[in-house]
Chains A and B, each alone.
Chain A
Amino acid sequence: MDPLKYHLYDFLEDDSFRKWALEIPSAEFDRWQKHFAGSPGMQKNMLEARQLIRDLKNVQTLPADRVLEEKIWKSVQQKKARFNILSVRRVAASVAILAGVLLGYYIYTRQPFARNAWELSHEIVEMNDSRQARTLVLADGTEVRLSPGSSIHYGESFNLSDRRIVLEGEAFFDVARNPEKPFLVISNGLVTRVLGTSFTVSSNDSEVSVSVKTGRVEVLSEESYSRMKDTEKHLSAAMVLKPNQKAIFSRKEASLTRSLVEDPAIVNPAARPATLSFDNTPATEVFDRLADAYNIEIIYDRDMFSQCRLTVSLEDEQLFEKLDVICKTFNAEYRLSDAKILIEGKGCKF
């Protein structure tokens, strides 16, 4: 290949050369300037490349279309004023969405908080009308995984003075930690208050449940919350939930019940899979290791079960499956009470 031609394309390809040719400031600008002045042999190619770069810029420049610019800007401003993406060409679809929005708004305003304590100015609505969970990140860094058919609303001032959002349906929250501004989820009569943690809120007409994955979560009815003075809001008559715990709020009875999540996770970082592998292990130790790994209270009669021993590896099963196996071996039964596991049986006699 002709080396002079090679140099020409080389120049054309070089990003910093292109900036020099177009007189755009860059870190390399002076280098090219010196190079140009100091290498007469290169000048022909450099000039040719520079000319072509400038010409290509000029020739492809269309007259600025200010009319179109204004037209698009106006319609963007009008349409973004509230709610979502309505394309000019999707009028039919937009009518359907609007109907959905109106219905949502109706349901929303029917609830007591909408008009008083929780009135959100210039609210932003995020909804998930797809069939898959939709993940969004709020301005404070909190991640929200919105289940299909669910939506969240929050004010434009979210994260400025406080962090509060209204949920309809179900969502998993991984809340960015900020002790100054507690994160509040208001859902169908229940207020969930956290500083930084991860949890799921799920609500339907009759009940709301809050399942905790990590951290500490407080829940209380919206009614109690709105009765409290601001200064008391950190004290609270709230129910405090730990990881693997779940609160169920019944709207009808306005009652809160504590329970365990469906599939508790091993939360103790020190727990190794081997901790749940048992080899002729006494029952007391089995229960202690389980309680420790899942950070759950297990209540049983130590004397009664002192003779029981277990040999089995339970590394992969869910907690409740593990309990099934253990109880079968020990000829016992378990039940849940207030997020505690009660083991009942006659023990093992040989």
Chain B
Amino acid sequence: MDKDIFKEDDALWKAFKAGSEPAFGQIYRREIQALINYGKKLTPDTVLIQDAVQDLFLEIWNSRLRLADTDNIRFYLLRALRNKLSKKIPGAVTTEPKEEEIAEPSIEFAILENEDRDSRLLRLEKALQKLSRRQQEAINLRYYHDLSNEEVARIMGVNYQSACKFIYSGLKILKDCIIFLVCNFFIYSTL
């Protein structure tokens, strides 16, 4: 494993652009799992993800001299990966907003036996699956990859309001589902 020589994104990126192999390695090691994770959210096709991620790193290496500066490497790479994947699988990664995709909370949830960490996460995972693909993607970028609303909008190719809407409506559904389940659970357990 490479040691992290560069602390700040800005310096790391500049070193990489100047042709530093260690900087390139550091970027790869640091970002690869996030990229694989995001790729898997967008498509189940691992070969496609492998292909796109590999192209992405080769391209940034080969064209490093003319890349713009960035202070958020992850944002830069996630956006580039999404562009690549949406080119390879037209339709699979949409950018056209579709109103009907905004899912409404569903009441079909399994009632769980124990209120421990694992079951809480399992419930959340099930709730996440109830979201539309775009809500899921926005929540993933915001709460897994720690990007700002602005960055989420730019990666998904939608305007700022739409991104906020995906995130807010997504959170609302998650919240409602969880509360609903908690209530259900209490009702169940008091019976």
Contacts and interface: CB of A to CB of B under 8 A. Distances in A.
A60 B65 CA distance: 35
B144 interface: yes
A105 interface: no
Contacts of A343: none
A2 to B, nearest CB: 12
B66 to A, nearest CB: 4
A88 B66 contact: no
Interface stretch (B4-12, B50-58, B97-105): B50-58
Given A69-B33, A156-B19, A80 B61 contact: yes
B148 A15 contact: yes
A152 B36 CA distance: 35
Given A15-B148, A72-B53, A60 B66 contact: no
A278 to B, nearest CB: 45
B144 A76 contact: no
B121 interface: yes
Contacts, number: 100
Given A52-B175, A59-B128, A88-B51, A64 B57 contact: no
Given A55-B120, A79-B58, A137 B66 contact: yes
Interface in B52-92: 53-55, 57-59, 61-63, 65-66
A9 interface: yes
Interface string B124-167: 11001000000000011001101011000000000000000001
Interface string A41-78: 00000000000110111111110110011011101100
Given A55-B124, A85-B59, A76 B51 contact: no
Interface size of A as a range: 35 or more
B62 A84 contact: yes
Interface in B23-47: 28, 32-33, 36-37, 40, 46
Q: What are the 5 tightest A-B residue pairs by CB atom distance, in nearest-first order?
A: A56-B143, A60-B144, A136-B66, A76-B57, A80-B61
17 contacts: A12-B171, A18-B146, A24-B146, A59-B124, A60-B37, A60-B143, A71-B50, A72-B32, A72-B53, A73-B28, A75-B54, A76-B58, A76-B61, A84-B62, A87-B51, A139-B19, A139-B65
Given A55-B120, A56-B174, A136-B66, 15 more contacts: A12-B171, A15-B148, A18-B146, A22-B146, A55-B124, A56-B139, A59-B121, A62-B40, A72-B32, A72-B54, A72-B57, A76-B58, A84-B58, A85-B58, A89-B51
Interface of A: 8-9, 12-13, 15, 18, 22, 24, 52-53, 55-62, 64-65, 68-69, 71-73, 75-76, 79-80, 84-89, 126, 135-139, 156
